Structure 1
Amino acid sequence: MDISVVIPLFNEVESLPELTSWISQVMYTHQFSYEIILVDDGSTDGSWEMICQLREANEAIRGIKFRRNYGKSAALNTGFEAAQGNVIITMDADLQDSPDEIPELYRRIIEEKYDLVSGWKAKRYDPLSKTLPTRLFNAATRKMSGIHNLHDFNCGLKAYRKAVVKNIEVYGEMHRYIPVIAKWAGFTKIGEQVVEHRARKYGTTKFGMSRFINGFLDLLSIFFVGKFGKRPMHFFGTMGVISFLLGMVMAIWIITEKLIHIAHNEHYRDATDQPLFYLALVAIILGSQLFLTGFVAELVARSSHDRNKYQIEATV
């Protein structure tokens, strides 16, 4: 099978007939073998009933229904597990992504050998309350991930080589950082394509300010897990040793200064009367706790079932 189109959706019943018809027309025109995987993330507006009707009319359509709303990341991860195509295309169900972009995305994966091609909606029709947080996240993600050639990490329209989606896990709000997850998994050939952003035709946006906070926390999680997931002692231990040594230096300074004044028979205030004493004490305690945290985290990592699970591209 050439292409799997994975579409997570929540209360998008009005757009589904037009969207699936448009995708099918594009596939027929370019003679692609395909499947459309519609993942219903706990919709309450009749979306599942519509999916069942569309399935009866087109066998290329497959439906997956969650018992409740789990979020876009869960829907994408489930769709990835079900996908059978050599190239997986993801897009939103609200008709703001154009299926006409699919052939070029497919070509770049197959002919230019990209692992992942992410869409960039250079001209957007979203309100400022949505575009401003997106720009801030994109700037922060570029800085932390080192993927400097992507302008829009959160664009729903993306193309993946099959090996990518079968070797990554998406959860929480991490769908917006899939290029970062792919990079940490060893899929480093990541490209970008300018795509059309269409104004929403049906329904209302599901964007909320809670995603701003969750997205930031998930960015920190990805950075930490990707860099230190298999060696947490390198993170906590380093911070702990630095804090402990800093505290010891301050403590030695206080003691040395006290001894010098005693040797010269000079009056000197007690060590506990100095703010530096308490800073040294806090630094030593904090350093010890960080080191122990790293030690415990290392034990947990070593006992994990996937502690020796690594991405292998090929064998001979």
Structure 2
Amino acid sequence: MQLSIVIPLLNEEKSLPELYNWILEVMLAHSFSYEIIFINDGSTDHSWQIIEDLATTNHLVKAIHFKKNYGKSQALHAGFLIAQGDVVITMDADLQDNPEEIPELYQLITKDNLDIVSGWKKKRYDNVITKNLPSKLFNLAARKVAGLELHDFNCGLKAYRLEVVKNIDVYGEMHRYIPLLAKNAGYTKIREKEVKHQARKYGETKFGSERFLHGLLDLITIWFLSKFGKNPMHLFGGLGILMFFVGFLSALYIGVSKLYHLYHQIQDILVTQNPWFYIALTVMIIGTLFFLTGFVAELILRSNRKTERYKVSKTLNH
């Protein structure tokens, strides 16, 4: 099979039939062998009923129905697990991603032997103040931290070699950083392609302005995990030892100073009245806590077991 098209969705009943027909036209025009995988992320409208009808008429339509809304990352994770195509395309269900981009994305992966092709919506039809400007600032920060020259980490339209999606773990809200997850896993052949952006035709966006704050926090998380995820003791233990050493030297200085004043019968304040005593004590305690944090993190990492991330209510055609 050439293509797996993975589409996470939440309450997109109006756009689904049009999106499906559009994808079908592209598949038939280019004679692709394909599967379309819808992941219904807890929709409360008629999205699932529409998907059931599509799956009944076309056995190449596969679907997963979550019992409730678990988020885009969990939806992509579920879709990646069952994808079988040589190239996996991800796209949103709101008609803002253009299916006519799929053939070129497929060619870039197969002909140029790339791992990932990430879409770049250079010309956008979103609100400039609430979405475009924050998105530019977010992407700038992401480029600096990730070390990837991508202009649009948030673009849902991406193409992957099947091996890539089978060997990365998309969790939490890390769907924005799949290229970085892939890079950390050794898949470094990543390219960007400018893609068409459509204005939203039906409904309203499911993502508010808070997603940029969440995105920055996730970016810090993934930076930490990529640097110290396998050995958290290297960070916390190092900081702990450093702070404990600084606190110990400060306490030693206070003690020696007190002995000096006693020996020379110089009047001096009590140790407990010296503010540096409490500073040194606090630094030593914080250093000890850092060290213990690193130790506990190592224990958790070594005893970690996979937990159930989402509950699937129904599946279709797989």
TM-score (norm 1): 0.91
Contact conserved, 1:173 with 1:211, CA < 8 A, in 2?
A: no
Partners of 1:273 and 1:182 in 2: how far apart? 55
- Give the percent of matched residue pairs that are identical in Structure 1 and Structure 2: 58
Question: 2:193 aligns to what?
Answer: 193
Structure possessing the higher relative contact order (Cα contacts under 8 Å, 6 or more residues apart):
2
Please list every run of 5 or more consecutive structure 1 residues that lacks an aligned counterpart in the other structure: 307-316
Structure 1 counterpart of 2:202: 202
Q: Which residue of 1 aligns with 2:294?
A: 294
Provide the residue aligned with 2:237 in structure 1: 237
Aligned to 1:84: 84
Match of 1:138 in 2: 139
Shift of 1:305: 5.6
Kept in 2: contact 1:130–1:207 (CA 8 A): no
Q: How far off its partner does 1:115 sit? A: 0.9
For residue 310 of structure 2, what is the aligned residue in structure 1? Answer: none
Shift of 1:120: 0.8
* Number of aligned positions between the proteins: 305
Offset at residue 121 of structure 1 (A): 0.7
Q: Show the counterpart of 2:54.
A: 54
SS in structure 2 of the partner of residue 119 of structure 1: strand
Kindly provide the amino acid, as one letter, of the partner of residue 287 in structure 1. Answer: G
Residue of structure 2 equivalent to 1:115: 115
Q: Judge which range, 151-160 or 130-139, deviates more.
A: 130-139
Say whether 1:100 aligns with 2:104: no
Give the drift of 1:274. 2.4
Structure 2: gaps of 5 or more residues: 307-318
Shift of 1:299: 2.4
Aligned with 1:186: secondary structure? coil
Any idea what the Cα deviations from partners look like across 1:187-246, whole Å, max 9, x if unmatched?
122111111111001111111234233323322222222222221111110110111111
Match of 1:2 in 2: 2
Aligned residues: CA RMSD:
1.7
Report what 2:160 is aligned to: 160
SS of the equivalent of 1:100 reads helix
The residue number in structure 1 matching 2:225 is 225
Matching residue of 1:171 = 171
Q: Which amino acid aligns with 1:55?
A: A
Q: Deviations over 1:117-164 (max 9, x none)?
A: 1111111111121223322322222222222x1111111000011011
Aligned to 1:63: 63
Task: Give, in angstroms, the shift of residue 278 of structure 1.
Answer: 1.3
SS at match of 2:290: helix
Q: Is contact 1:109-1:116 (8 Å) kept?
A: yes
Q: TM-score, structure 2 length as denominator?
A: 0.91
Partners in 2 of 1:231 and 1:56 — Cα distance?
Answer: 49
